[in-house]
Amino acid sequence: MPRTLTARALGAGRSLAASLTPPIDVSATYMRDADNGYSSGHVYGRKDNASVQQAERQIADLEHAREALLFGSGMAAATTLFLAASPTHIVAPRHMYWGLHVWLAEAHRYGHEVTFADMADLDAIGRAIRPGRTGIVWIETPSNPLWTVTDIAAVAELAHRAGALVCVDSTAVTPVLTRPLDCGADIVMHSATKYLNGHSDVVAGALAASAPSGLWDRIAAIRDQHGTTPGPFDAWLLMRGLRTLDLRVREQSRSAATLAGRLAGHPALSAVLYPGLADHPGHAIAARQMSGGFGGMLSIRVRGGAAAAVKVAANVHLWRRATSFGGIESLIEHRSSIEGQGSPCPDDLLRLSVGLEDPDDLFGDLEQALAPGPPISSPPSVRWRPDP
Ligand SMILES: *Cc1c(COP(=O)(O)O)cnc(C)c1O
């Protein structure tokens, strides 16, 4: 009967064609065998969705990891790791993704003690680590929004000698430029919202581990219990984005390096922060640790303080004023006002996420926005169409 046919989606559970692109597995539950078993290995959507697992496999392979887990956001990924760990002492960067810094500053609620350290300074990290007491050393490199570089291999050696695990937030570089697990880290974390998806249309996160462990099993259990898995549509979009990850990140890195080089020494700027510049304090480590580029993110500090910086952001036409990064479109952000109270971000700093537009157009737009005097609303050299 039609009612039965439609209700059963004309062949539920079977692949209808030898599709080239992966289908989206939207199933919230999976069929059980007559003998009461689950020979497919899939039981229920919160834990076993096939599209989510497919994306996880791709991320694990990219990171040279044994296993990866996807989450509904980068924050969900990071906080699940800390919730899964038995109460311990954590060493984390003073300069890092601010949302997670805020959470860690309150992690005593979960029994953790946190020391924030200058992660560009190995001696400071060594002093912060308490042998036998520190359980986790958290690295973000290059870190938001000053693009501070941390030597993952050197920190891993220090941490492992003290009995601590090393976790790396690798959101800004992606496995295209750095594979933290190959440098000795134990777990790598991503906000997949950024480069991994790359199209500013998914919020997701990931963890990937080099080896099985009790902690990893607890992370998986808590994700299942808290239900912080992403939906299959987001996982599918993420896979679609991942297909061009390598091309996007390489091109964005190339454009960011071009822009950093051209902006360096600009009279309206007091600093250009980019690990690819020879005068960046982390340049030597970055050159060793990153392969094929220094990333698509840079920051500029505008002479004249917060008001001058906000004015530059107001005067751009091509760059979009928005938070987040890693997408196709170039974004400009007055970072300290989004981080809010207590943020160590200088208030004259603009964070730039370089997209896939022509770097000459991107530079021209910044140049006219940095020019003294009243804003030029539509200069003749501007080849894109300004917003209406
Ligand atoms: C965005 C971001 C996060 C948080 O990820 P969400 O997907 O926004 O939850 C964590 N770390 C870094 C470096 C980020 O840029």
Task: Looking at the CA of residue 96, tell me the nearest atom of ligand 1.
Answer: 13
CATH architecture of 2-242: 3-Layer(aba) Sandwich (3.40)
Q: Which two tokens stand for residue 118?
A: 């200058």
Decide whether any atom of ligand 1 lies within 6 Å of the 169 Cβ: yes
Contacts for 301 with CB less than 8 Å, ≥ 6 apart = 269, 270, 271, 272, 273, 309, 346, 348, 349, 350
Specify the domain boundaries for CATH 3.90.1150.10 within the chain.
Answer: 245-370
SS3 content of the chain, % helix, strand, coil (to 5): 40, 15, 45
Residues of each domain in the chain carrying CATH 3.40.640.10: 2-242
Alpha carbon distance 276, 174 (integer Å):
16
Is 139's C-beta closer than 6 angstroms to any atom of ligand 1? no
Distance 357 CA to ligand 1 centre (A): 23
Query: Which residues carry out catalysis?
Result: 46, 97, 169, 194
CA separation (Å) from 227 to 38, 82, 160, 230? 21, 16, 32, 9
The minimum-distance atom of ligand 1 relative to the CA of 144 is 13
Query: Measured in angstroms, how far is the CA atom of residue 79 from the centroid of ligand 1?
Result: 11
Q: How far is CA 158 from CA 26, 190, 244, 281, 298, in A?
A: 45, 23, 36, 21, 29
97 close to ligand 1 (CB < 6 Angstrom): yes
Per-residue pLDDT of the chain (388 residues; tens, 9 = 90+): 777 767 776 555 566 678 888 899 999 999 999 999 999 999 999 999 999 999 999 999 999 999 999 999 999 999 999 999 999 999 999 999 999 999 999 999 999 999 999 999 999 999 999 999 999 999 999 999 999 999 999 999 999 999 999 999 999 999 999 999 999 999 999 999 999 999 999 999 999 999 999 999 999 999 999 999 999 999 999 999 999 999 999 999 999 999 999 999 999 999 999 999 999 999 999 999 999 999 999 999 999 999 999 999 999 999 999 999 999 999 999 999 999 888 999 999 999 999 999 999 999 999 999 998 765 455 444 445 544 4
pTM: 0.94
State the Cα–Cα distance between residues 199 and 190, nearest whole angstrom.
15
Class assignment of domain 245-370?
A: alpha beta
Is 205 touching ligand 1 by the criterion CB < 6 Å? yes
> Distance between CA 119 and CA 123 in Å, rounded?
9
Q: Is the CB of 141 under 6 A from ligand 1?
A: no
Indicate if the alpha-carbon torsion angle 14, 20, 22, 23 is positive or negative. Answer: negative
Token duo for residue 277: 């510049």
Q: Ligand 1 center to residue 375 CA distance, Å?
A: 33
